[in-house]
Amino acid sequence: MIFNQFTSLKVGETMRLVNDHDPKPLYYQLMAEHPGEAGWEYVEEGPDVWQVKITRIAS
């Protein structure tokens, strides 16, 4: 679902991921499957809530 949402973004658009743990494995997978296409910025870093802003920087 997250990857479908990401691929539907236009360049410059963002999505926000809210999770109960650090989504670092998702970061590695996203960067491997979409190299050079995504920006990743932590908005909140736990311990209970993790928020990441994911931006489509290229397609």
- Closest by Cα among 8, 6, 22, 19 to 55: 6
Tens-place pLDDT, residues 5-41: 999 999 999 999 999 999 999 999 999 999 999 999 9
Alpha helices of the chain — where are they, by DSSP H?
A: 2-8, 24-33
Q: What confidence score (pLDDT) does residue 14 get?
A: 98
Q: What confidence score (pLDDT) does residue 37 get?
A: 98
- Provide mean pLDDT across the span 47-59: 97
Q: What confidence score (pLDDT) does residue 28 get?
A: 98
Domains in the chain: boundaries: 2-56
Q: What confidence score (pLDDT) does residue 23 get?
A: 97
- Provide mean pLDDT across the span 36-54: 98
